């Protein structure tokens, strides 16, 4: 019964958000058309240019809401199929994001003032493992896209040369190409959308950036935002809590303690979260 209730709640939420996104798309499209008409009727070139610029802003916003509606519709379809199956794992919203970007594996990372990941949402295990590697090694395309505020693409030998630690480790996962685009609003970057082994040419098209913008303005920071992405976002709160404990115990800066946890996790082939749990439970203590 609980599962049925959860499915009903998720389906209702996805329906509502898809409807809101379509309504906003219609509103922004109407505003764009009005300014385009005013531009054609303008008595001066300067006035016409002003209306065309405003129309362009509305068109861009409309495209963002349309992409958001399509992502919600896709998730709604997945949820509807899941609700009819007993025992099946709940579909992830990020699976639709990955598909929209022309790949099976995609991940969103959210960061704070420092470049370290504060949260992660992934479409599948390869994407999750790839972003865990970025967190542990402190290098990778999503990290660069966030810190440099620009799209990053790396594949083949370039991936290996640019990221001497991350590149070979990613190759061991069977991933040969990765692209990342920053998530930003009003000049502030707070994370990145990364895709792994995307279809040729997808990352050079407007689609990739459009999906990132829709996630930013509709799912993560919008008026009906859900940064938890329907329960799929993993916060790294326990990792940073464990770093605080290690910092006190070893009398070292928290940043150094965090690096120690990462190094230990990488050496053991474990996730930082798993190491943090052992520290918090008292099973692991650094000397």
At 129 the pLDDT is 92
Mean pLDDT computed over 39-59:
93
Instruction: Write out the residue range of the structural domain in which residue 159 sits.
Output: 103-232
Q: Is there a single domain that holds both residue 55 and residue 21?
A: yes
Residue 159 included in any domain: yes
Q: Is residue 96 one of the residues assigned to a domain?
A: no
Q: Are 218 and 110 members of one domain? A: yes
Positive or negative CA dihedral for 89, 92, 98, 100? positive
Residue 95 within a domain:
no
Burial code (b: 16+ CB inside 10 Å, e: under 16) for 112-125 equals: eeeebbbbbbbbbe
Residue 97 lies in a domain: no
pLDDT over 70 at 278, yes or no: yes
What's the pLDDT band for 75 if we cut at 50, 70, 90?
very high
Quick one: 192 and 159 in the same domain?
yes
Question: Rg for the chain (alpha carbons), in Å?
Answer: 22
18, part of any domain: yes
Same-domain pairing of 147 and 228: yes
The model's confidence at residue 105, banded by pLDDT at 50, 70 and 90, is: very high
**In-domain check, residue 171:** yes
Residue 282 has pLDDT above 70, yes or no: yes
Q: Where are the alpha helices (DSSP H) in 84-221?
A: 93-100, 125-137, 141-148, 156-162, 166-172, 206-214
Residues 55 and 73 in one domain: yes
pLDDT of residue 45: 92
| Cα(155)–Cα(153) distance, integer angstroms | 7
DSSP state, residue 67: H
Are both 111 and 176 inside the same structural domain? Answer: yes
Same domain, 149 and 228: yes
Give tens-digit pLDDT for 130-176: 998 898 888 999 999 998 889 998 888 888 899 999 999 999 989 98
- Say whether 227 sits in a helix, a strand or coil: coil
Q: Which of 55, 83, 111 is the last residue of a domain?
A: 83
The answer to whether residues 158 and 203 belong to one domain is yes
Q: What's the total number of domains in the chain?
A: 3
């Amino acid at each position: 019964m609980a599962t049925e209730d959860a499915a009903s709640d998720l389906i209702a939420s996805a329906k509502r958000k898809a409807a809101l996104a379509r309504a906003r798309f219609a509103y922004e499209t109407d505003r764009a058309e009005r300014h385009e008409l005013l531009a054609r009727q303008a008595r001066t070139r300067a006035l016409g240019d002003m209306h065309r610029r405003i129309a362009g802003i509305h068109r861009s916003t409309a495209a963002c809401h349309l992409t958001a509606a399509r992502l919600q519709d896709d998730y709604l379809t997945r949820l509807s199929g899941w609700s009819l199956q007993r025992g099946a794992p709940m579909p992830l919203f990020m699976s639709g994001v990955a598909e929209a970007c022309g790949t099976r594996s995609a991940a969103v990372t959210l960061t704070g003032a420092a470049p370290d990941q504060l949260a992660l949402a992934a479409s599948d295990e390869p994407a999750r493992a790839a972003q865990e590697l970025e967190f542990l090694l402190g290098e990778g395309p999503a990290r660069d896209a966030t810190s440099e505020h620009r799209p990053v693409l790396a594949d083949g030998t370039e991936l290996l040369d640019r990221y001497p630690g991350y590149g070979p480790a990613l190759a061991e996962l069977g991933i040969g190409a990765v692209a990342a685009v920053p998530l930003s609003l009003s000049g502030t970057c707070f994370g990145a959308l990364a895709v792994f082994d995307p279809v040729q040419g997808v990352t050079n098209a407007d689609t990739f950036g459009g999906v990132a913008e829709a996630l930013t303005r509709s799912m993560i920071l919008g008026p009906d935002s859900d940064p938890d992405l329907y329960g799929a976002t993993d916060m790294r709160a326990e990792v940073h809590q464990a770093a605080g404990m290690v910092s006190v115990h070893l009398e070292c800066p928290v940043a150094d303690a965090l690096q120690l946890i990462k190094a230990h996790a990488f050496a053991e082939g474990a996730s930082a979260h798993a190491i943090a749990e052992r520290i918090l439970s008292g099973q692991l203590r650094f000397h």
